Amino acid sequence: HRHLLGIEPLSQSDITSILDLADKYVALNRSAHKHSDALAGLTQINMFFENSTRTQASFELAGKRLGADVMNMAMGASSIKKGETLVDTALTLNAMHPDLLVVRHGSSGAVDLLAQKVNCAVLNAGDGSHEHPTQALLDALTIRRAKGRLHRLSIAICGDIAHSRVARSNIMLLGKMENRVRLIGPPTLMPSQIDEFGVEVFDDMREGLEGVDVVMMLRLQKERMDGGFIPSEREYYHRFGLTAEKLAHAKPDAIVMHPGPMNRGVEIDGEIADDVTRSVIQEQVEMGVAVRMAAMDLLARNLRESRAAAASKD
Ligand code: CP
């Protein structure tokens, strides 16, 4: 693959290769010398048009640990504010010969469009409600390490599914790896094309969580509800917030996940989020750096191979 735009085009073996390499980077990141030269000589530009803590910081650290020259564009201070379009901005940066472009944008499909205009590898760091592939990969690595496998697990994804690129990418990845996915949430926050997903749907947390191995909570994405129905936080917590009493319906060794940012007391009880016997939320963050290192390393290998092949034809 030339780019990482989504989970959709990836095969089971693509996913396994990324996770296997990421496992090696977890060991590197835990060592005293967190450095490799896998991206030495390459330039990585991070363009985040939407706010981020985890994804932006981990892509930056990942690039630096692999020896790339990393530049973070402050998009709020860029000439986008003067009316320059996304495509013109990308073409401008492309003329500076980056090798890896990491892009987060509020519009679904914006990152795919940009990938068609530039001649470097593009990684989707989240586009609208469409895909967030590195999040699904880091979630998969977290599950595989906690459960010892990434197949034949029962996984509940709970909350605002309709607006969640994390849910879409996870549903695709977990389905490709032959897991059983359940979606739990209010019908108003379920996507309209739910039948395409091949998942079970519940609007009752206790029923949906019965016997699951993994409980994945999502944030209410109010910023994407533009004028539509926004549930009251109190009512939402009562029905869909993860509490000890609701979690007791899952398997006794079920893990609790959340991609962050987390709203304590809205979708999850703070005590559960902090309970390290159940919650793997901090492990998810750790896996994020390793997965992004693996994804950029593999794309850089493909980039070097295609450049070498092109050079040998000249
Ligand atoms: N999970 C995630 O994408 O978090 P950020 O928005 O902080 O990057």
pLDDT in tens for each of the 314 residues of the chain?
999 999 999 999 999 999 999 999 999 999 999 999 999 999 999 999 999 999 999 999 999 999 999 999 988 888 888 889 999 999 999 999 999 999 999 999 999 999 999 999 999 999 999 999 999 999 999 999 999 999 999 999 999 999 999 999 999 999 999 999 999 999 999 998 887 888 999 999 999 999 999 999 999 887 777 766 677 899 999 999 999 999 999 999 999 999 999 999 999 999 999 999 999 999 999 999 999 999 999 999 999 999 999 999 88
Q: Is the ipTM of this complex over 0.90?
A: yes
58 lines ligand 1 (CB under 6 A): no
| Tokens linked to 118 | 């530039």
Pairwise CA distance, residues 26 & 290, whole Å:
5
Q: What's 31's DSSP letter?
A: S
The answer to whether the predicted template modeling score (pTM) of the entire model surpasses 0.90 is yes
50 lines ligand 1 (CB under 6 A): no
Q: Dihedral (C-alpha) 113, 116, 121, 124: value to the nearest 10 degrees?
A: 10
Q: How far is the CA of 39 from the centre of ligand 1 (A)?
A: 24
128 lines ligand 1 (CB under 6 A): no
Q: Name residue 123's beta-bridge partners.
A: 4, 102
Q: Which residues are annotated as a binding site for carbamoyl phosphate?
A: 54-55, 104, 132, 135, 260-261
Q: How far is the CA of 260 from the centre of ligand 1 (A)?
A: 6
Q: Looking at 66-116, list the stretches that DSSP marks H as alpha helix, in order from N- to C-terminal side.
A: 86-94, 110-115
CB atoms within 10 A of CB 27: 9
Q: Looking at 31-85, list the stretches that DSSP marks H as alpha helix, in order from N- to C-terminal side.
A: 54-65
| Helices H / strands E in the chain, number of each | 11, 9
Q: How far is the CA of 207 from the centre of ligand 1 (A)?
A: 29
Length of the chain: 314
Active-site annotation, residues: 54-55, 82, 104, 132
106 lines ligand 1 (CB under 6 A): no
